[in-house]
Amino acid sequence: MSDITELERRVSAALSRIDRALDAMPGPAAEDPALHEALESERAANAQLMERVRAIKEKQEIILSALERKVAHLTRQLDTASRDLARQKAVNDDLVETNRMLNDALRDGIAAPGLVNAAMESELAALRAARAEELAEIEEIMAELKPLIGEVA
């Protein structure tokens, strides 16, 4: 039992010496101006990096927003072009069928003024569809040029 008492006394003495040594040590940031300056320098660098990250994030959001608007615009253009193409295909199919019927009538020696009229109407519809497509293309070009003209003016 005396060994335990002796060990307790020695441990207590060692802990007391450690406490006194710790109390005698200066605080690192409070006493050392070089450490304090290094800490402030790191804080400033960290603040600069955080500002850069914020600026990059804002720029990415602006670019993303512009790209989303561009994709929406291009999607609308593609939808319009698809509808125009479907309409042009239908008109052309009608024109081909009318011309086939007109050729059959001419081969059989039948004068078919109704078929000639239908062929002319189909051809006019095809021309109107082509003109509508050209007008839509001109409008797209003008829409792209307007911002450029505004920048120059």
How confident is the model at residue 30, as a pLDDT?
55
d(CA 130, CA 127): 5
Maximum mean pLDDT: which of 50-54, 85-89, 102-106: 50-54
H/E segment holding residue 108: none
Sign of CA dihedral 69, 74, 80, 82: negative
Arithmetic mean of pLDDT, 23-44: 75
pLDDT of 26 strictly over 70? no
What pLDDT digit, counting tens, does each position of 84-94 carry? 888 888 888 88
Say yes or no to pLDDT of 62 above 90.
yes
